[in-house]
Structure 1
Amino acid sequence: MSLSLAVSPAFPSALSPDAVVGRLRRAGCVFAEDEARLLFATARTDRELAAMVRRRVDGLPLEHVLGWAEFCGRRIAVDAGVFVPRPRTAFLARTAVALAAALEAPVVLDLCCGTGAVAVVVGAEVADAEVHAADVEPAAVRCARRNVAAGGSVYEGDLYAPLPAGLRGRVDVLVANAPYVPTDDIGLLPSEAREYEPLVALDGGADGLDVQRRVTAGAARWLAPGGSLLIETSERQADRTAAAMVRGGLAARVATDEELGATVVIGTRGTAPQVDEASASR
């Protein structure tokens, strides 16, 4: 099937749409025609197109080749070596938007933010939201700061550690797309993820829940009364994620989107004031 594209005369015949589709297909790209359209639309010169095709054929994730990913209808910058936002995470973002939009001037925190995609969507769709994000990976933080820009604040550090003390007890919606792949399953991931995305963004420990447990254990101290913690997880891990939230003092429920194959566990803090154990002991 020929690819219908208006191609500049600057592109030599070796870089014709059909030729590019053929190379991508031989490299194992399932959606070769769609990828070719994106490559032609993004490349500014024949030299740039040739380099992009070569990098994609060599196995680099398409989003790293393009320098961006489409997420919830927005173009999110994705730098090399940064975790690529997955389509299923749109459910996490939409759920966060729905909860935040029901509040006046909500405070939203995106932990393990990667590119900051969820923070960007919430900030764009909830006009009066105060948006914060954090990640432990320096490359991800640099990328998230570009994406979030003036729409919020991005911190570098491990989970809650880099957050300003003034956020404690004020967060209305806390979103965490923490790594949840069990260590022994990392080898089963597509080579694009294994080779080009940071292990810290993928490896969730022996059962995939190590980072999630740390998030749930500390969430109640940062959530406002009635605030919600949203964690993306897998269907088979959802019950254990919910149990971790309950141990952290939250009421938990599971939400799913069958079309996206997405599962989000939502934990809600009670409306009674949270007691700071350290302060209470003084």
Structure 2
Amino acid sequence: MTGVPSHPDRPALVHRLRAAGCVYAEDEAELLIAAADSARTLTDLADRRVAGLPLEHVLGWAEFCGERIAVDPGVFVPRARTALLVDAAVAVTGPAAAVVELCCGSGAATVALARRLAPRWLAAADVDPAAVACARRNLDPLAVPVFQGDLYDALPAPWRGRLDLVLANAPYVPTAAVALMPPEARLYEAPVALDGGPDGLAVLRRVAEGAADWLAPGGHLVVEAGQAQVDALCAVLAAVGLRPTVTRDEDRDATAVTARRPG
């Protein structure tokens, strides 16, 4: 970083991180140094990172859409590609919308939506108690409630048929492919946040089916999916009466599927 004095431990730390396979060793070293208040703390942080703990879990936060999001151990780390999901949601959502994020993890996307929209309702939900606790840390300052439960079952019943936007970064990795994911994900993030069933669409099917009942006429569902899953997912959405469109961002290696409830 230009203009920042070199830390005496930096060269050795960069070398150690690079040897452990950290691609962005220089950047990670700067972040670890900034997070440490003593040489002992820096050593402890470096030891945890070299052992394979995700950098975000070591630091206790991740950057997402320009926001610093608290990330607790075991909680899904927000990926940069999911910013496309936020962009797609903002593009189809008008003012004073009723907005819910399902499978919210740390609540990162809800934080971003709170900054970019002016919703009349905004809430998040997740089935994992650890994720709910983490999301509440991030969303309590914004007065956004976080519910615990299985998809729509977590939401207040009077909201059925009244939501303008449902956003969900549901798990979509096929079960057999979870073992092929980077160790930082498969060893340190909850399986419920990764495993999407045999074809990766088990949870997304349930999200789609519920959206047909929970969305208001003209409302939108926005989800993330793998590029190879798009045709099958669009068929599921069409079968429940939603009208899907696909947005692809090659730079972010991201695919968002938006589906509108006619009305």
Q: TM-score, normalised by structure 2?
A: 0.96
> What displacement does 1:6 show?
2.7
Is contact 1:224-1:269 (8 Å) kept?
Answer: yes
Residue segments in structure 1 that go unaligned for 5+ positions in a row: 272-282
Matched, 1:121 2:107: no
Q: Which residue of 2 aligns with 1:108?
A: 99
Matched, 1:226 2:225: no
How far, CA to CA, are the matches of 1:107 and 1:28 in structure 2?
44
Residue segments in structure 2 that go unaligned for 5+ positions in a row: none
> What displacement does 1:129 show?
4.4
Moved over 4 A (4+): 2-5
Mapping of residues 204-215 of structure 1, within 5 Å: 204-215=196-207
How many percent identity over aligned positions?
A: 54
Matched, 1:63 2:62: no
1:163 aligned residue (155, 175, 184): 155
CA offsets 1:110-142 (integer angstroms, 9 cap, x no match) = 000000111100011113442111000000000
3-state SS, counterpart of residue 122 of structure 2:
strand
Aligned length: 262
**Which residue type is aligned with residue 130 of structure 1?**
W
> What displacement does 1:95 show?
1.4
Q: Which residue of 1 aligns with 2:23?
A: 30
CA offsets 1:215-234 (integer angstroms, 9 cap, x no match) = 10111111011000011001
Is contact 1:176-1:232 (8 Å) kept?
Answer: yes
How far, CA to CA, are the matches of 1:37 and 1:62 in structure 2?
12
Q: Which has the larger radius of gyration?
A: 1
How far, CA to CA, are the matches of 1:227 and 1:127 in structure 2?
16
How far, CA to CA, are the matches of 1:46 and 1:97 in structure 2?
44
How far, CA to CA, are the matches of 2:161 and 2:21 in structure 1?
49
Is contact 2:95-2:118 (8 Å) kept?
Answer: no
Q: TM-score, normalised by structure 1?
A: 0.89
RMSD: 1.5
Greater relative contact order (Cα < 8 A, sep 6+): 2
Distance 1:45 1:166, change over 3 A: farther
Distance 1:99 1:151, change over 3 A: farther
